[in-house]
């Protein structure tokens, strides 16, 4: 039985690398009993479970603010598990429903799903955020060689239309260990309109987006009420909680739904884009070791175009045991004037040149790509 007092944000994973049939399915969640903490479970079929009697993580002197809304992802790149957990700690830049104590995200690692490292803070509000903004949750996943996270951003004491709302922003990591806020901190998934079932909160599932054709499907839970109160005092740990700042539990307006499940759709690779208007905008890549025949782009250029040029790059050692780069002139046949302009809404557009389209001749060499955009939004590029 998966239910226990205080169950919160369960994650269920099917481990493709597991060799023990009894542990193919894995479970991670917060329970309040026997003690407040994080618990794991295992199953052979995803139906019958054996849940640990002992918590694998509990609040302690190193992480006294460990709390609810945990999420666990399987790191398919490095064959490990990553727990992205919530902690509550003082934030000198902010104020909120617990005063200066704010919700932040920590990270913990495990290779066997039972022994976890002590959590350390990776994502927290800072002086670039509104003083009341807090990072309530974060569900992470591997995506095209990177690590992405969908963060629950809680506007804990803001006035106006954002009062007590929770929307989503994007987090990014290159190694799964060092994370930062991505996309200029813009909203990834906004709340719904007034009177809707997701008017006050959108919470992502603890699973990666599902690729369906040229779309990414994100399932989420919506909240139609503004109420957000603390758990019962007997389950609290860590820093003292500030009395008198929890909003009243006001009744819902007649006919307003309390919550529901939703489906948000995003174009493939559509988390962020590099945009240009009618004046040309340019994107210069770092030196890349070419390995492929074709350069493809995911771009919306229905009102404009995109062109590409290729440059040779050379790496130079120096006396500081590092290196620098020099970039020459555009390669003959692969200059902007040789590039066939690509227009339209292309999820897998092929860049072509008058000098030929087969880039296999550059394999193993350092090449820099320069893209020119006019009235276009670039989502991604890759070699095939």
- 58: CATH: 2.115.10.20
- Cβ atoms of 269 and 96 closer than 8 Å: no
Token readout for 24 is 């193919």
- The kind and range of the H/E element at 381 are strand 376-383
- Judge whether 2 lies within some domain: no
| Number of domains comprising the chain | 2
Domain hosting 322: range is: 275-383
Q: Which of 244, 267, 290 represents a domain boundary (last residue)? A: 267
Q: Which two tokens stand for residue 75?
A: 């790191």
pLDDT of residue 96: 86
- Asked if 256 and 283 sit in the same domain, the reply is no
Q: Where are the beta strands (DSSP E) in 209-294?
A: 210-212, 215-223, 259-267, 274-276, 281-284, 288-289
Task: Note whether 309 and 220 are same-domain residues.
Answer: no
* 1, part of any domain: no
- What does DSSP assign to residue 233? G
Indicate the residue among 233, 267, 301 that finishes a domain. 267
Nearest-angstrom CA–CA distance, 305 and 342: 5
99 lies in the same domain as 231: yes
Cα dihedral 32, 98, 93, 250 in deg (nearest 10)? 110
Cα 298 from Cα 149, distance rounded (Å): 21
Q: Are residues 261 and 298 in the same domain?
A: no
The pLDDT tens digits along the chain (384 residues) read: 678 889 999 999 999 999 999 999 999 999 999 999 999 999 999 999 999 999 999 999 888 999 999 999 999 999 999 999 999 999 998 888 888 899 999 999 999 999 999 999 999 999 999 999 999 999 999 999 999 999 999 998 766 778 889 999 999 999 999 999 999 999 999 999 988 899 999 999 999 999 999 999 999 999 988 866 544 343 334 334 444 444 444 565 666 678 899 999 999 999 999 999 999 999 999 999 999 999 999 999 999 999 999 999 998 887 776 678 899 899 999 999 999 999 999 999 999 998 777 899 999 999 999 999 999 999 999 999
| Res 251: pLDDT | 60
Token reading at 39: 């618990």
Q: Which letter, b or e, does each residue of 157-167 get, where b requires 16 or more Cβ atoms within 10 Å of its Cβ?
A: bbeeebebbbb
DSSP 322: -
- Angle among Cα 264, 266, 271 to the nearest 5 degrees reads 120
What pLDDT is attached to residue 355? 76
The verdict on 153 and 245 lying in the same domain is yes
Same domain, 51 and 173: yes
Clarify whether residues 195 and 57 are in a common domain: yes
Specify whether 65 is located in the same domain as 117. Answer: yes
In a domain, 144, yes or no: yes
Looking at the fold, whether 261 and 306 belong to one and the same domain comes out as no
């Amino acid at each position: 039985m998966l239910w226990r007092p205080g169950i919160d944000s369960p994650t269920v994973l099917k481990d493709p690398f597991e060799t023990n049939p009894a542990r193919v399915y894995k479970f991670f969640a917060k329970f309040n009993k026997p003690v407040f903490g994080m618990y794991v479970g295992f199953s052979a079929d995803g139906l019958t479970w054996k849940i640990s009697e002992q918590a694998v993580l509990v609040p302690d002197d190193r992480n006294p603010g460990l709390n609810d809304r945990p999420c666990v992802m399987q790191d398919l790149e490095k064959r490990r598990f990553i727990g992205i957990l919530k902690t509550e700690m003082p934030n000198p830049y902010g104020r909120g429903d617990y005063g200066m104590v704010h919700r932040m995200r920590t990270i913990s690692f495990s290779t066997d799903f039972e022994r976890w490292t002590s959590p350390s803070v990776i994502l927290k509000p800072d002086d670039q955020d509104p003083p009341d903004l807090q990072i309530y949750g974060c569900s992470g996943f591997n995506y095209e060689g990177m690590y992405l996270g969908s963060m629950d951003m809680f506007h804990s004491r803001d006035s106006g239309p954002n009062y007590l709302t929770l929307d989503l922003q994007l987090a990014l990591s290159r190694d799964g260990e060092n994370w930062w806020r991505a996309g200029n901190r813009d909203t990834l998934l906004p709340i719904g309109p007034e009177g809707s079932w997701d008017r006050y909160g959108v919470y992502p599932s603890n699973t990666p987006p599902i690729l369906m054709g040229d779309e990414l499907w994100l399932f989420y839970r919506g909240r139609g009420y503004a109420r957000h109160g603390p758990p019962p005092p007997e389950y609290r740990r860590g820093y003292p909680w500030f009395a008198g700042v929890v909003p009243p539990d006001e009744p819902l307006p007649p006919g307003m739904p309390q919550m529901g499940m939703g489906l948000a759709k995003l174009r493939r690779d559509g988390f962020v884009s590099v945009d240009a208007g009618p004046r040309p905008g340019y994107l210069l890549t770092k030196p890349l070791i070419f390995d492929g025949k074709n350069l493809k782009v995911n771009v919306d250029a229905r009102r404009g175009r995109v062109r590409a040029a290729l440059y040779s790059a050379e790496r130079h050692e120096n006396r500081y045991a590092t290196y620098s780069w020099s970039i020459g002139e555009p390669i003959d046949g692969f200059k902007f004037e040789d590039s066939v302009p690509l227009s339209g809404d292309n999820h897998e557009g092929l860049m072509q040149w008058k000098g030929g389209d087969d880039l296999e001749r550059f394999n193993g060499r350092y090449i820099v790509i320069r893209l020119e955009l006019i009235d276009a939004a670039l989502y991604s590029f890759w070699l095939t």
